[in-house]
Amino acid sequence: MFNTIIFPVIYGLVIFLAGMKVMETALGRWAGPLLSSLLRKATSSPLKGMLFSTGVTAVLQSSTAVTVLTMGLVNAGLLTYERTLGIILGSNIGTCITTELIGLQISQIALPMLGISIMMWALSVIADEYKLFSMRKGSQLFKPVQLIALAAAGFAMVMLGIRVMQMIGPALENTRLFGWFIEQATHNVWWGVAAGAALTALMHSSAAVIGLAIALAAMGTLPVGIGIAIVLGANVGTCVTALIAAIGSTKSGQFVAWTHVVLNVGGALLFMPFIPQLEWMSASFSTDSGSQIAHAQTLFNIICSLLALPICYLPIWKRTGQGQ
């Protein structure tokens, strides 16, 4: 069991999380310096904040990074609480890019992509070091290339981690414990939601948990409906990071963290009775089980954010922000 299930999961998760960190760090260093000033300029309304945050989170591939940065700006008094509401909604939508890419099942090209990315990074480092191109701003051009190459390498590692985790499919299908869990989740959707929330809270990565669910569904081991329940739970589990960041924060920062919790937990509770409908909607976009879970994640976050958006325009938030 260790060689066929436990080791591939740990090995695959290590590669996956390392790839996420490389990708997040590279993209953060590339786009991060402008992020603080852009957040302040692009949040004049909840809708603008949501659209901008969606784009930024899609680029940085980390809703946690955007949420924590937002809390930091609120704590520093550079951003009012009212302006953070749209950012929180948009960060949930932006993370769907990762799961949609995972759902495409392009892990077969992970190794070639990793090799090409590392080669591009190495060539740009050598060209920058030895000034191979006589350009005044050569270093300014090579630095973004290096960071983008590292981000691509990180994404390739994410895909490679998914491929490794897919190896457990046949062995997992033969275990009685997994069969028992699937049977319990079939009778009570709370089992799937609880599993997604607990795993995400432990690993601090909803993408890793959803990626594992996509991999198992693609292998035919995990039913799509239970995979969607895990997705809902993963969205709840991401709140743990925000709550940790709220420790020692100002009242406004804590309010941002709890808003994140209310939106994610409220969205999961709202959609739990409609998992069959969500499964039907995602099936209309693709026949592949893994892709259906990715589409369900996207539909869930977009619908939840659009439903919550009108609430962000209520006058109460201005008074709340002034009272912090």
User: Tens digit of pLDDT for each residue in 129-153?
Assistant: 766 655 555 456 677 788 888 878 8
Residue 297 has pLDDT above 80, yes or no: yes
User: 117-146 burial, b if ≥16 CB within 10 A, otherwise e?
Assistant: beebbeebeebbeeeeeeeeeeeeebeebb
Q: What is the pLDDT of residue 228?
A: 92
User: 63-99 burial, b if ≥16 CB within 10 A, otherwise e?
Assistant: bbbbbbbbbbbbbeeebbbbbbbbbbbbbbbbbbbbb
Q: What is the pLDDT of residue 281?
A: 92
Nearest Cα neighbor of 245 from 223, 232, 261, 266 is: 261
If one compares 284 and 177, the residue with the highest pLDDT of the two is 284
Whether 155 and 118 have beta carbons less than 8 Å apart is answered as no
Residue 182 has pLDDT above 80, yes or no: no
Half-sphere exposure of 211 (CA within 13 A, CB side): 34
Domain that holds residue 82: 2-323
Specify the number of domains making up the chain.
1
Whether 141 and 127 have beta carbons less than 8 Å apart is answered as no
Task: State the average pLDDT for the chain.
Answer: 76
Nearest Cα neighbor of 231 from 244, 218, 214 is: 214
Residue 32: enclosing H or E segment and its boundaries?
helix 7-41
Q: Which two tokens stand for residue 303?
A: 């619908």
Residue identified by tokens 């997604």 is 196
Most confident among 38-42, 64-68, 205-209 (mean pLDDT): 205-209
Taking residues 87-108, report their average pLDDT: 74
Nearest-10 Cα torsion for 306, 295, 268, 277? 90
Residue 199 has pLDDT above 60, yes or no: yes
- pLDDT tens for each residue of 205-252: 677 778 878 888 887 878 888 889 988 988 888 887 677 767 766 777
CA 151 – CA 58 distance, rounded (Å): 13
Q: Which two tokens stand for residue 168?
A: 């457990």
Q: What is the pLDDT of residue 97?
A: 76
